[in-house]
């Protein structure tokens, strides 16, 4: 039995026999893999969504309040209270730089301090999407003449500064449904108990992001 503090997810490449893109979309594709769990076993076939990955930001002001943004999400036909977030869709862009860009674009804020709250896969049974959530502090507004012009759904964004404890209660009451907001709020609440001293720095390695290990080879060798 593994000790509690020894529990950790790990990379586990398996023998990939064939892979192909069965649908190509504007942002992500659907890939079909044929693979074996171990030698001698019958092949399995799984379809999943490829994804560039994403970053999200829990922005916290000097009073300990967190920023939530309200945005319409077409697949669920709802306006959700979320935290600023965006795709890692700029080739070679540093993860923290991407987070800073999204914070500026969606909230008109810049931050002096960056830490990692948590990393997660949003739906690992059907999607490759990796998400890193940052805690951003030391906030200042983006100058008016440098602000991003928001379009489409982002043009409707509304913002609210919420006490962290109130945000936690909204999660427990079932009033928040965004996975990035829920994970960020609960992680920040847990980290606050030790004054955020246990958080990783903003530039901490992210080995789970697919860009860090590439694609598994096709053929007899792993």
Q: Return d(Cα 35, Cα 219) in angstroms, integer.
A: 10
Q: Return d(Cα 44, Cα 183) in angstroms, integer.
A: 32
* pLDDT of 57 higher than 50: yes
The tokens for 85 are: 């977030």
Q: Which residues are catalytic?
A: 154
Q: How many CA atoms lie within 13 A of 189 on its CB side?
A: 17
pTM for the full predicted model: 0.91
What are the pLDDT digits (tens) for 213-222? 654 444 443 4
Q: Return d(Cα 188, Cα 117) in angstroms, integer.
A: 7
Q: Return d(Cα 121, Cα 124) in angstroms, integer.
A: 6
So what's the pLDDT on residue 116? 98
What are the pLDDT digits (tens) for 76-111? 999 999 999 999 988 889 999 999 999 999 999 999
So what's the pLDDT on residue 24? 94
Q: 9-29: b or e for each residue (b if 16 or more CB lie within 10 Å)?
A: eeeeeebbeeeeeeeeeeebe
Q: Return d(Cα 209, Cα 54) in angstroms, integer.
A: 10
List the chain domain ranges: 13-50, 54-201
What are the pLDDT digits (tens) for 118-150? 999 999 999 999 999 999 999 999 998 888 888
Q: How many CA atoms lie within 13 A of 152 on its CB side?
A: 2
Is pLDDT larger for residue 82 or for residue 155?
82
So what's the pLDDT on residue 146? 86
What are the pLDDT digits (tens) for 156-174? 899 999 999 999 999 999 9
When the candidates are 3.30.365.10, 3.90.79.10, 3.10.20.600, 3.40.50.1370, the CATH number that belongs to 54-201 is 3.90.79.10
């Amino acid at each position: 039995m593994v000790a509690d503090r020894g529990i950790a997810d790990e990379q586990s490449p398996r023998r990939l026999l064939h892979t192909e893109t069965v649908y190509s979309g504007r942002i992500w594709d659907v890939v079909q893999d044929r693979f074996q769990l171990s030698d001698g076993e019958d092949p399995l076939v799984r379809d999943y969504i490829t994804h560039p990955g994403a970053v999200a930001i829990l922005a916290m002001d000097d009073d300990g309040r967190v920023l939530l943004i309200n945005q319409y999400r077409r697949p669920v036909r709802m306006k959700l209270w979320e935290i600023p977030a965006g795709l890692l869709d700029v080739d070679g862009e540093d993860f923290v730089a991407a987070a800073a860009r999204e914070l500026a674009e969606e909230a008109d804020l810049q931050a002096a301090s960056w830490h990692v709250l948590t990393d997660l896969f949003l739906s690992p049974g059907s999607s490759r999407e990796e998400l890193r959530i940052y805690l951003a502090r030391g906030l200042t507004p983006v100058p008016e003449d440098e602000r991003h012009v928001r379009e489409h759904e982002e043009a409707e964004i509304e913002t609210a500064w919420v006490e962290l404890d109130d945000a936690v209660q909204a999660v427990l009451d079932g009033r928040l449904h965004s996975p990035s907001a829920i994970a960020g709020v609960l992680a920040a609440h847990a980290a606050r108990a030790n004054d955020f001293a246990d958080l990783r720095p903003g530039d901490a390695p992210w080995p789970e992001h697919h860009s860090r290990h590439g694609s598994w080879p096709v053929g007899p060798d792993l």
